[in-house]
Amino acid sequence: MLSLEKIKRRLESAGQSHILQFWPELCEDERDAFLRELSQLDLDGLRAHCEAAALAAASPDQASVDQHIEPVPKEDIGSVRKSDKRSLEEWENEGLLQISKNGVGVLLLAGGQGTRLGVKYPKGMFDVGLPSSKTLYQIQAERIHKIQELANKKHGSNCTVPWYIMTSEFTLAPTEKFFKENNYFGLEPSNMLMFEQRMIPAVTFDGKVILQGKGKIAMAPDGNGGLYQALVDNNVLQDMEKRGVEYLHVYCVDNILVKMADPVFIGFCVSKGADCGAKVVEKAYPAEPVGVVCRLQGVTQVVEYSEIQPETAQLRGPGGELLYSQGNICNHFFTRAFLQDVAQKFQGQLKQHVALKKVPFVDTCGNPVKPTKPNGIKMEKFVFDVFPFSRSFVAFEVVREDEFSPLKNAEGAAGDTPTTARRSLLALHCRWATGAGATLLDQHGNVLPPTASQPAGDNPPAQCEISPLVSYFGEGLEQLLKGRTLQTPFILDEEGAKELSAH
């Protein structure tokens, strides 16, 4: 820990002396905690960070990308919908082979504060109201179990898919506690590595670090692109190397449909020799607010919807399809070699994005204030900003209804809520069950029409939930469900599957 004198001097030279303005009022414990916090701060980089934040907020990058934008070449885009059954099987086999050889890991981005959802605990602990009451973390843990089992069955292996979980100061302790209390959902704790990303100070529009309390700086995680620094800080790449993990599937905590270590995606990327890949979904409509995977002056990247003019977003190809339709869903493939390159050579070149936020603070008299309009700047890095460094990038288009339904907002918002997430999962499971030859009945014993598996609208899907421990992507259900009539609410868990296969 640095001494008060040292910190004082360095804050002065960074133009941030106000940080210690309430020092005389702090008690012994508060002083200790504050000194510890300040000692961990990058004091040398503080002036540059504050000046850059203020400058970026004052002159937002309005550069229009429309003159330089090009679609990703067709040959670099795979598609579940447009590929034949044989190719999909080949990719799946390749993916399962790599998994069976312990060559694949998954990495969860779980350091976000989930402000829009507005709960006090990490988003992964959220229960969207499924019949089983499973949380997002539990669903993901069970999918890891199942994919290991599928690979083992096919290859007679005993493989592990290690689970790397990036957290932040806000999410680490509750996430650790939650997994421990739930016995890691049956996973081996030594195969789960939780680590923390860095935090950076929020800054006022005139470049001053914001004090959240008299002895506390307003800190925020450095964005999901903080991953690359966190990989270095926590020796994650060394752990991957030790385990022989060559490929990493990186994903967001909030997508209830995420297929972790999806063998089809992994197999596709591996067989194309890609060092970096992204799953995309077709944009629903030209103005849909999602980032688009495209090229700018020949360099692959994600361009935010706000950076493209509406006329460009509406452009269509000869077949009538949107030219820029590859919506980014934060599902990425990286080789370990690529991540090593990023860590060693490109780390410092990652773009900084400016977010203007309402940051609670103490005023000059020490009174706490909850601002009603944005008063602070948070600088963030994004996980996809490494795409330009890739030498062999591929995109893989998947079916939105099968793979993407993020939980972003609290109930009552127009979309991406607990209800939409729950309905997407139930609708998918209804499709699996009816596709496997089952008939679903409602509470009154009436046969549910096919519309019962529609996720949106006034008709919620039937309450049919299939445990990931029974099926990962709908496989193996025919032998259990064909010709059966199922009363909903219906939960198919491992016990139920055993009973069904016995009768």
Q: Which residues bind ligand UTP (CB under 6 A)?
A: 109-116, 123, 166, 168, 197, 221-224, 226, 252-254, 408
- In DSSP terms, 394 is beta-bridged to 277
- The answer to whether residues 366 and 25 touch, using CB atoms and an 8 Å cutoff, is yes
Q: Report the nearest approach of ligand UTP to the CB of residue 137 (Å).
A: 12
- φ, ψ of residue 485 in degrees (nearest 5): -105, 125
Distance between CA atoms of residues 348 and 342, nearest Å: 9
Q: Report the nearest approach of ligand UTP to the CB of residue 215 (Å).
A: 24
- The answer to whether residues 430 and 462 touch, using CB atoms and an 8 Å cutoff, is yes
Q: Report the nearest approach of ligand UTP to the CB of residue 355 (Å).
A: 9
Q: Report the nearest approach of ligand UTP to the CB of residue 316 (Å).
A: 29
- The answer to whether residues 378 and 212 touch, using CB atoms and an 8 Å cutoff, is no
In this structure, is the dihedral angle defined by the CA atoms of residues 468, 473, 477 and 481, taken in order, positive or negative? positive
Distance between CA atoms of residues 423 and 409, nearest Å: 15
Which residue, chain included where needed, has tokens 């409602």?
442
CB-nearer residue toward ligand UTP: 108 or 466 = 108
Q: Which residue number places its CB atom closest to ligand UTP?
A: 112
Q: ∠ CA 291-295-301 to the nearest 5 degrees?
A: 50
Q: Report the nearest approach of ligand UTP to the CB of residue 41 (Å).
A: 17
- The answer to whether residues 418 and 126 touch, using CB atoms and an 8 Å cutoff, is yes
Q: Report the nearest approach of ligand UTP to the CB of residue 128 (Å).
A: 15
Q: Report the nearest approach of ligand UTP to the CB of residue 230 (Å).
A: 9
Alpha helices in 392-466 (DSSP H): 400-403, 418-435
CB-nearer residue toward ligand UTP: 221 or 468 = 221
Q: Is 68 exposed, middle or buried (0-12, 13-18, 19+ CB in 10 A)?
A: middle
CB-nearer residue toward ligand UTP: 379 or 398 = 379
- Other Cβ atoms less than 10 A from the Cβ of 128: the count is 23
CB-nearer residue toward ligand UTP: 47 or 116 = 116
Question: Please, what's the largest Cα pairwise distance for the chain?
Answer: 77
DSSP 8-state code for residue 451 = G
Q: Report the nearest approach of ligand UTP to the CB of residue 210 (Å).
A: 17
Query: Closest by alpha carbon to 482, among 441, 437, 422?
Result: 437
Distance between CA atoms of residues 332 and 395, nearest Å: 9
Q: Report the nearest approach of ligand UTP to the CB of residue 416 (Å).
A: 9
Distance between CA atoms of residues 353 and 382, nearest Å: 8
- The answer to whether residues 272 and 78 touch, using CB atoms and an 8 Å cutoff, is yes
CB-nearer residue toward ligand UTP: 168 or 467 = 168
Q: Report the nearest approach of ligand UTP to the CB of residue 279 (Å).
A: 14
Per-residue burial over 282-296, b = 16 or more CB atoms within 10 Å of its CB, e = otherwise: bbeebeeebbbbbbe
**What is each CA distance from 107 to 161, 205, 375, 450, 474, in whole angstroms?**
10, 35, 33, 36, 23
Q: Report the nearest approach of ligand UTP to the CB of residue 396 (Å).
A: 19
Whole-angstrom distance between the N-terminal and C-terminal Cα of the chain? 66
Q: Report the nearest approach of ligand UTP to the CB of residue 446 (Å).
A: 39
